[in-house]
A and B are shown apart, each in its own frame.
Chain A
Amino acid sequence: MTQTLTCEVNGILRTVEVDGDEALLDTLRDRLYLAGTKRGCDEGECGACTVLVDGTPVHSCIFPALAAGGAEVRTVEGLAGPGGKLNSLQQAFVDRAAVQCGFCTPGFLMTLTALLEANPSPSDHQVDEAMAGNICRCTGYSAIRAAVRSLVREDGA
């Protein structure tokens, strides 16, 4: 039996029928065709499925879709600014070679977006702690750290 979920996704009000125990990830990928959010583990370990629900990062693979009723959901597809311009974090990922295979990238971008919105000048250690729930198998994290660091400096200047 499906139930109705109404929430805002990337600024657009969406109403969609979902299964009662459906994970938000399935709703986003299979019902709303927002495939930028990735499925890596289905157990809240890898973080590739991270989206923001009311500004807070959650693992959408284990987040009940219906718990997002009335909430604002943001996914990687909603990060670019007006005219489709990359936001500063996306641009820093491109410029600092923080992307390799890129499968983890949407999740990292969402977690780090939330971090920078809460704390525009995080230390390296704060960055590492914030992304403990996101795994990157390719980069060894150094370039991701550098991408965030580049924004902290720019803001400080």
Chain B
Amino acid sequence: MTAVGLGAPRSDAEAKVRGLAMYGVDYREAGMLHARLLRSPVAAGRIIRLEVTEARRSPGVHAVVTAAEAPRHRNGLVLLDTPFFADDMVLYEGEPIAMVVADTSRQAEAAVETIVVEIEELEPVSDVAEALAPGARLLHPDLDSYRVIPGTGPWPKGGNCGGVLTSDPGGVDEAFETADIIVEDVYTVPRQYQAYLEPKSATASYDGWRWTLDVSHQFPYKARSRVAQALGVTDSRIRVVGHHIGGGFGARLDLGLEQFAAIGASLTGRTVQLVNDRVEDLVSCMSRENATIRVRSGVTRQGRIVARDFECLMDSGAYAGDTPYLTSIALLMAGSVYRVGPTRVTAKSVYTNTAPSGAFRGVSGTYLCFALERHTDRLAQAIGMDRREFRMRNLFEPGDSMLNGQTLEDAEILREAFERVEERAPWREAGKGPLRGVGLAAVIWLTNPLAGSATLGIQEDGSLGVSTAATENGSGAVTMGLRQIAAAEFGLGAEQVFVTSPDTDTQSYDAGSQGSRTTHVVGMAIKAAATQLKPRLFNIASGLLGALPDDLELGGGNVRVRDDPSRTVSLSEVARTALGVGGPLSSTGTYSVPLPKWDPDSAQGLLFPVFPVPTYHVHLAEVEVDPDEGSVRVTRYVVVQEVGRMINPDGVYGQIQGGVAQGMGYALWEGLESRDGRYTRRTLESYGLPLAVDIPDVEIIVLEHPCEAGPFGAKGVAEPPIVPVAAAIANAVSDATGADITTLPIDPEELLVALEKRQEG
């Protein structure tokens, strides 16, 4: 099992450093056509005229597609509320209205410019407050009639809400009466753009019956079902072939441009490629939703949190996307990490005339943690208690339950994590000095449980092939983790294992690179496949070696007799022999994570009910604030993360450093604000992604508590490092300046004002 725990290089690294890795945008076919979308220039309105005659006659144009040529039914990730092209109404700036397919992209672009579109503009419902105000214009007057995806029960929705989660366990008001002090805070956060460096694209071809899509997508099976749903055909008429992914971070889990390329291909009979330019990518991307969080807690002078009231309004944009799921995260986080007493939770997915929001690493957890941990600091300060001491008094113990009724038997890991942070960066010494501060934040996070599969094949040369629809989004989960797990199962070095890229025609279902699931879930599928395959392998080797199967073991690319290592047969010979004795050495394993118990009555609208295979995280940030500019420098950042078991240290450290960098961006620079339904920052330049000069090397401490039902003990790793970062930094900055930070990104002007006030006081 030597391959596990080592920093084996990723198998795609060489292609990537040579510039030979083909990404979705690099895919080419001879005679391929190019498409451009006409997107709505306004946030809200009624289309009163759409004239495409001139575009159809423009040079090089093969097709112009509008709602009239497209399926008329609505599609969606969970709630079917989204039209193919905007037809009567446009609901957000950037919404596709028409598409031109031409010989070259310049021709397509020129033809798009000849399209006449007249829109009777409406005052946009530009934010959540407007959307929920009495008498607000409804974005979806027919909401009640919309269908939901199969297997999802009805959930509360209505008005401008695509989903509402409520939980009121009773006794909350009475518990508040036992509090000495009640603190109420409101936090608001903007959207965060995933800003993967490869813009979205899709290439499609059509053979008269089936479509083939060449894409860089995190979840090819979802792309398949969503394209099928949008076109109104059955799933198996779509084939999705995955190429290298130039970053996803959640943004490539739902439909991007695939449905448009597909309809272009079937209307022209040609291969059609559609690529976003960066501005349209940013403007139309399903970014992390903006949100408003109100949290009110009662606390005793002895430092106990006794009651809580929690409300979160999530801006889903014009179409619901995944937001009805995300409301559940509010319930899962509002009363975890710390004991908070009886808690009432309301979370709403709210429609506005803005681009649909969607999944970004850590989803709502990033801002929920920000709000909860800022609030925790404020509670401690309200009773004059040290912020760390206050946390330790209220910290979860083994056997404590989250608000969904899920019990955490291993919650002692949380206390261990706090202690390890303390050893590394003692609280009494951290962040001392003028303009300096220190902050803590902790979170419990999940490993996504959804199904996966893998097919193993011992090759005739003795190497091992792993075929899976799991996607390598860059994390290394496939090209490092899965290869190492498979190698360890067969006593091989990781370099003797190759993995395929995804193709929905040849590999069975996989739920995509999301929620840190790939290593854990597909690793278990590999183990299952290996468990099936090994008896046959040992049987054949047993004949070749003249030894009992039970006396054999794998190692060094051979099968050998355990007590007599001189008697070996190579895997190559076993594989070749197998061809004449029942056929190739191949097997398929499948897995999905058994869900932990929860209380289905804990809330209404709980579409995402549990945190399977929980992991534990504590972060500490030290910052320094520039007194002239109000800018923040993170001078030290410590992460203690529990991972089950490390399969590849390079992979684990890389995910933590990278996730923290994205969290620093969220805390300090990034953010999409809209004014009247239009984003104010519209380019990568103005968006402000973190640079090398801004990001320190993170101090990383990994805790290993192997998970019984995990491959070699591994749990999910990659998603959560982003979650507590804004919280830890905001707490540190508040400590440094006295500013009561309630919004992100942290505003330097607010810090200058706070510092002035502190000087005067």
A and B touching (Cβ–Cβ under 8 A): yes
Binding site for B on A (CB under 8 A): 34-43, 45-46, 48, 75-77, 79-80, 86, 90, 93-95, 97, 99-106, 109, 125, 127-129, 131-132, 134-145
The interface residues of chain A lying within 8 Å CB-to-CB of B424 are: none
Nearest CB in chain A to that of B691: its residue: A132
The interface residues of chain A lying within 8 Å CB-to-CB of B249 are: 137
In the assembled complex, B68 has its CB within 8 A of some CB on chain A: no
The interface residues of chain A lying within 8 Å CB-to-CB of B698 are: 140, 142
Interface string of B458-481 (1 = CB under 8 A from A): 000000000000000111100000
Contact of B198 among A40, A95, A141 (CB under 8 A): A40
In the assembled complex, B133 has its CB within 8 A of some CB on chain A: no
* 8 residue pairs from A and B, CB less than 8 Å apart: A38-B198, A97-B7, A97-B650, A101-B474, A132-B693, A138-B247, A141-B691, A142-B698
In the bound complex, how far is the Cα of B247 from the Cα of A128, in angstroms?
22
CB within 8 Å: A-B pair count: 171
Knowing A101-B246, A142-B698, say if A135 contacts B197 (CB, 8 Å). Answer: yes
Contact of A42 among B20, B246, B278, B660 (CB under 8 A): B278
Contact of B196 among A132, A134, A137 (CB under 8 A): A137
The interface residues of chain B lying within 8 Å CB-to-CB of A79 are: 17-18
The interface residues of chain B lying within 8 Å CB-to-CB of A34 are: 19
In the bound complex, how far is the Cα of B21 from the Cα of A105, in angstroms?
11
In the bound complex, how far is the Cα of B196 from the Cα of A106, in angstroms?
15
* B196→A101 contact, CB < 8 A: yes
What count of chain B residues pass the 8 Å CB interface test?
A: 57
In the bound complex, how far is the Cα of B105 from the Cα of A42, in angstroms?
15
In the assembled complex, B657 has its CB within 8 A of some CB on chain A: yes
Knowing A138-B658, A142-B697, A145-B697, say if A76 contacts B197 (CB, 8 Å). Answer: no
* B247→A101 contact, CB < 8 A: yes
CB distance from A17 to the nearest CB of B (A): 15
Chain B interface helix/strand/loop/mixed: loop
Knowing A100-B476, A101-B196, A135-B689, say if A43 contacts B18 (CB, 8 Å). Answer: no
* A41→B654 contact, CB < 8 A: no
* A45→B684 contact, CB < 8 A: yes
CB distance from B18 to the nearest CB of A (A): 6
The interface residues of chain A lying within 8 Å CB-to-CB of B236 are: none
* B9→A95 contact, CB < 8 A: yes
Q: Which of B22-30, B122-130, B145-153 contacts A (4 or more CB under 8 A)?
A: B22-30
Knowing A97-B7, A145-B697, say if A131 contacts B692 (CB, 8 Å). Answer: yes
Nearest CB in chain B to that of A134: its residue: B692
In the bound complex, how far is the Cα of B650 from the Cα of A80, in angstroms?
24
In the bound complex, how far is the Cα of B18 from the Cα of A40, in angstroms?
18
In the bound complex, how far is the Cα of B662 from the Cα of A143, in angstroms?
15
* A103→B661 contact, CB < 8 A: no
In the assembled complex, B195 has its CB within 8 A of some CB on chain A: yes
In the bound complex, how far is the Cα of B707 from the Cα of A33, in angstroms?
48
The interface residues of chain A lying within 8 Å CB-to-CB of B628 are: none
In the assembled complex, B728 has its CB within 8 A of some CB on chain A: no
The interface residues of chain A lying within 8 Å CB-to-CB of B277 are: 42
Contact of B684 among A40, A99, A129, A145 (CB under 8 A): A40
CB distance from B702 to the nearest CB of A (A): 15
The interface residues of chain A lying within 8 Å CB-to-CB of B194 are: 137
* B278→A40 contact, CB < 8 A: yes
The interface residues of chain B lying within 8 Å CB-to-CB of A94 are: 9, 13-14, 17
The interface residues of chain B lying within 8 Å CB-to-CB of A45 are: 683-685
* A97→B9 contact, CB < 8 A: yes
In the bound complex, how far is the Cα of B199 from the Cα of A12, in angstroms?
30
CB distance from B422 to the nearest CB of A (A): 24
* B198→A101 contact, CB < 8 A: yes
In the assembled complex, B695 has its CB within 8 A of some CB on chain A: yes
The interface residues of chain A lying within 8 Å CB-to-CB of B658 are: 100, 137-140
* B197→A48 contact, CB < 8 A: yes
- B184-231 contacts to A (CB < 8 Å): 194-199
* B198→A97 contact, CB < 8 A: no
The interface residues of chain B lying within 8 Å CB-to-CB of A48 are: 197
The interface residues of chain A lying within 8 Å CB-to-CB of B684 are: 40-41, 43, 45-46, 135
The interface residues of chain B lying within 8 Å CB-to-CB of A93 are: 13, 17
* B19→A99 contact, CB < 8 A: no
Interface string of B26-41 (1 = CB under 8 A from A): 1010000000000000
